[in-house]
Structure 1
Amino acid sequence: MNDVPLSVLFGILALLIVLSGFFSSSETGMMSLNRYRLRHLAKSKHKGAVRSVKLLEKPDRMIGTILTGNNLVNFAAAALATIISQRLWPDNPDLAVFVNTILFTLIVLIFAELTPKTLAAIAPEKIAFPASSILLWLQWALHPAVWFVNTIANWLLKLVRVDVANATPDNLSTEELRTVVREAGSMIPKRHQHMLISILDLEKMTVNDIMVPRNEVVGIDLDDPLSDIIQQLRTTQHTRLPVFRGDINNVVGVLHTRNISRFLSSGEYLKEDIEKLSREPYFIPESTPLHTQLFNFQKYQRRIALVVDEYGDVHGICTLEDILEEIVGEFTTDVAAASSPDVHPQEDGSFIIDGTAFVRDVNKSMHWELPIDGPKSVSGLIVEYLEHIPESPVCLRIGRYRIEIMQIKDNTIRSAKVTIDPNIRDDD
């Protein structure tokens, strides 16, 4: 080795440092790849992605190959650096060792570790895909050594009850998927992000959260005078109406107003015709998750269902439109709701809210954060916090919302005034 020129030794050392940088960047690049994007590219027959997927199928073998190659070149570089330092300072071996240790450590740290690994972490695909072809060849060439090393390493891992064969899968939980959608940025438009998150939220919501309550259900009472029923059918804004006798618990069916239009035009109209043209009612439990009910609407080809409690009493109705609006937002115009909104802004910055309004709807329209894990209506929310039905107007505070009861009738809070305190956050 003493006969080899220093220029050649420096050239070999530089090559070894480059190889060390290659192994370091390959390891970081392969482990930093987005597994979901990688699978997508592999399905598209991207050669680099296909090779990377093959390597990542057995991460212990891939890491063993990289570390074996990296340690070989690092030890060779260290030995060569020692020889060079001894050639440069033959009369002072202590200085040679000191300079070699400090200088070689800095060079390896900068050029073989920090720089290549940072580059690979920033652009993993640009590093990992080209390197995958070399790694596959090295994995084959170094197979005996890698097998021996991996066998010992896997045996040690089994001692601490780690099974390499059953690695943690890359499956995402619902909350993790929700985070991915939110952090997609400009890749997914804001409206589409909202729709995707709303679909995930269907699992946490039940029919009871969005149903039209019983006292707001519009239907045909066959006990009413025929003239009133005809007038109701001529002016109704709804396509489907529950048909009942006296009380909605005595429902006989659901009428599609299209089926009765010919009787309205001809004047030949009887209550028996309404009952005959009504479709058998479809009942669902109030605890049915929304994603399940959406599937059931499709399965049974229904668009409206009567929501019942555990005793079989009707609590309200749920429609396919109600569920779809939870995903895409309001897409129809309710004339009645437009003329009498639930939230009435006041000049002083406060809001008058109808007691029958759904808390979830108020939160959605006003971007508020009133509690939704309890009662569904504003009236119910206030009563729950007071723990009694007030006999006279009182005030209370829920988070940053100061609520003043305005009107009470029939043991129900008909309206309340809400003022927001800007100095208090919702989580205070």
Structure 2
Amino acid sequence: MESFPLWLQLLLLILLLLASAFFSIAETSMMALSRFRLGHLVRQGRRSARITAGLLGQTDRLLGTILLGNNVANTALTAIVTALAIRYFGDDDRVILIATTVVAVMLIVFCEITPKVIGATHPERVALPASYVLRGLMPLFSPVVWTINLFVGRLLALAGVRPSEPREQTLSLDELRTIVLESGRFMPHKHRSILLNLFDLERISVDDVMVPRHRVEALDLATEERGIREQLSTCYHNKIPVYEGEINRVVGILHVRRALGLLQREAFDADDVRELLSPPYFVPSGTPVFRQLQFFQENRQRLGLVVDEYGEVLGLVTLEDIVEEVIGEFTTTAPGGETGQAWTDDEVVVEGTASLRDLNRRLGTQFPVDGPRTLNGLLLDVLQELPEAPVSVRFGNLAVEIQQIEDRVIRSARLRRLPH
């Protein structure tokens, strides 16, 4: 080193610092780079992304190249600084100690902490350009890296460690949910809400989204002609179940438009209506919503009657109900529906038969949904009896005051938000 001029030694010192910093920042950025983001860039045709993906596909060679280059640069840097210190300040223990301390500080500050923080903060900006350099260095370092990896492999075998082949990364639904929740400003709120609702389709059943039995609009063939005529002329839905005598004896589904011709006749009977019916489609209670969506598609159906194990009708589920569960409620609603309810001075009156999931979605409440499905069921579950007088139950910062009880059912309740 003494034969080299001082400026050349200082230049070599700076180059070694830069080399060490490069290997440090490249290692951190490569390991911190999102594999899913990288896969997206590869599908977009980014050449640097393809090179980076190829390097990460052989992690042992990549890390071997980076660590070998980093250690060579650090060792050479230490040797040059020590040689310069001895040349200009003498061969003394204190000089060597100071030179070693200076090298350690330089390596920690300029070659370790600073570049690694930058690499971890901006992995994509660093890793993609760095991949060109690393791809060029890997063949040069390949013999040494292969020898070192062979030795390391023997040591791992003696220790009982068998490194497996790199596997494709997969995500569970819960992990995907976390990614969506943490997407922040990168995804519009509505899009994030729809994705979260999609994940929930596997967790909820048709019982959670169906129209309860008491709110199902249906036609009774046992009714006299005048009643049938009046119901057909005022029917809100396009398709309605048709039963005979009582709701559990469903005989078919009527497309109301087909029945409009009957209203033009002077008289018609139940048999005329029966000829217009299509077979009913039954859905077992507890069927997951996502599976039912597939069943609707496979069977080309849009409406199903939810039945329990005894064949009794519990409610009605439609394709629209499932779609609303994903994208939110539509602007229209059937008579007696509750769309449009909102807080007024921190109070709102709701039906006791209202679904807890609907209340949570529309009013922002936080009722538990892992037990009873309706507000009436939740209150009875908490009170363990039907109250004889209006009572109030508290759920967190929400007070639920029972207002009307009829036929052993809580018909209405007032929700009141309490101050925190």
Q: TM-score range by the shorter chain?
A: over 0.9
In the TM superposition, what whole-angstrom CA distance separates every residue of 1:350-376 from its partner, at most 9, and x where no partner exists?
332211111111111111101111111
Aligned in 2, Cα 1:210/1:156: closer, same or farther, shift over 3 Å? farther
Aligned to 1:207: 206
Aligned in 2, Cα 1:103/1:288: closer, same or farther, shift over 3 Å? same
Any conservation in 2 of the 1:342–1:354 contact (CA below 8 Å)?
A: no
Any conservation in 1 of the 2:360–2:367 contact (CA below 8 Å)?
A: yes
The offset of 1:176, in angstroms, is: 1.8
- One-letter identity of the residue aligned with 1:63: L
Aligned to 2:4: 4
Aligned to 2:290: 291
- One-letter identity of the residue aligned with 1:377: T
In the TM superposition, what whole-angstrom CA distance separates every residue of 1:372-418 from its partner, at most 9, and x where no partner exists?
11111111100001122223333322222222222222111112222
1:390 to 2:387 alignment? yes
Any conservation in 2 of the 1:359–1:377 contact (CA below 8 Å)?
A: yes
The offset of 1:344, in angstroms, is: 7.6
Aligned to 1:407: 404
Aligned to 1:374: 371
The offset of 1:265, in angstroms, is: 3.0
Aligned to 1:26: 26
Distance 1:208 1:188 in 2: 31
Any conservation in 2 of the 1:344–1:353 contact (CA below 8 Å)?
A: no
In the TM superposition, what whole-angstrom CA distance separates every residue of 1:53-108 from its partner, at most 9, and x where no partner exists?
00111222211111011111111111121111111112x51232122112111212
Aligned to 2:357: 360
Aligned to 2:134: 135
- Equivalent positions of 1:232-381 (< 5 A) are 232-267=231-266, 269-334=268-333, 336-337=335-336, 349-381=346-378
In the TM superposition, what whole-angstrom CA distance separates every residue of 1:238-264 from its partner, at most 9, and x where no partner exists?
111001111121101111112212222
Q: For 2:136, what is the secondary structure of its paired residue?
A: helix
- One-letter identity of the residue aligned with 1:59: T
Distance 1:233 1:125 in 2: 64
- One-letter identity of the residue aligned with 1:107: M
Aligned to 1:48: 48
Higher mean alpha-carbon deviation, 144-153 vs 230-239, is at 144-153
Any conservation in 2 of the 1:359–1:378 contact (CA below 8 Å)?
A: yes
- One-letter identity of the residue aligned with 1:226: E
Distance 2:267 2:143 in 1: 92
Higher mean alpha-carbon deviation, 31-40 vs 389-398, is at 389-398
Distance 1:379 1:246 in 2: 28
Q: Please give the TM-score of this superposition, normalised by the length of structure 1.
A: 0.92
Q: For 2:275, what is the secondary structure of its paired residue?
A: helix
Distance 2:174 2:313 in 1: 34
**Matched residues, number:** 420
In the TM superposition, what whole-angstrom CA distance separates every residue of 1:195-248 from its partner, at most 9, and x where no partner exists?
111111111111011111111111011101111011101111111100111112
Aligned to 1:426: none
Distance 2:115 2:189 in 1: 36
In the TM superposition, what whole-angstrom CA distance separates every residue of 1:119-173 from its partner, at most 9, and x where no partner exists?
2222222221121122122222222221222234344445666543244642222
Aligned in 2, Cα 1:8/1:39: closer, same or farther, shift over 3 Å? same
- One-letter identity of the residue aligned with 1:38: L
The offset of 1:190, in angstroms, is: 1.0
Higher mean alpha-carbon deviation, 402-411 vs 329-338, is at 329-338
Aligned in 2, Cα 1:353/1:22: closer, same or farther, shift over 3 Å? same
Any conservation in 2 of the 1:260–1:274 contact (CA below 8 Å)?
A: yes
Aligned to 1:94: 93
Distance 2:407 2:342 in 1: 22
Higher mean alpha-carbon deviation, 270-279 vs 67-76, is at 270-279
Aligned to 1:109: 108
Any conservation in 1 of the 2:333–2:339 contact (CA below 8 Å)?
A: no
Any conservation in 2 of the 1:21–1:112 contact (CA below 8 Å)?
A: yes
Any conservation in 1 of the 2:343–2:363 contact (CA below 8 Å)?
A: no
Aligned to 2:14: 14
Q: For 1:165, what is the secondary structure of its paired residue?
A: coil
Aligned in 2, Cα 1:131/1:235: closer, same or farther, shift over 3 Å? same
Distance 1:286 1:83 in 2: 82
Distance 2:94 2:5 in 1: 21
RMSD: 2.0
Higher mean alpha-carbon deviation, 293-302 vs 269-278, is at 269-278
Distance 1:281 1:352 in 2: 36
Distance 1:201 1:161 in 2: 43
Q: For 1:125, what is the secondary structure of its paired residue?
A: helix
Any conservation in 1 of the 2:372–2:378 contact (CA below 8 Å)?
A: yes
Distance 1:391 1:357 in 2: 21
- Identity over aligned residues, as a percent? 39
Any conservation in 2 of the 1:342–1:357 contact (CA below 8 Å)?
A: no
Distance 2:271 2:356 in 1: 40
Any conservation in 2 of the 1:284–1:308 contact (CA below 8 Å)?
A: yes
Higher mean alpha-carbon deviation, 414-423 vs 58-67, is at 414-423
The offset of 1:419, in angstroms, is: 2.1
Distance 2:151 2:137 in 1: 20
Aligned in 2, Cα 1:197/1:345: closer, same or farther, shift over 3 Å? closer
Aligned in 2, Cα 1:189/1:243: closer, same or farther, shift over 3 Å? same
Distance 1:77 1:210 in 2: 69
- One-letter identity of the residue aligned with 1:370: F
Distance 1:296 1:57 in 2: 41
Q: Which runs of 5+ in 1 are unaligned?
A: 424-428
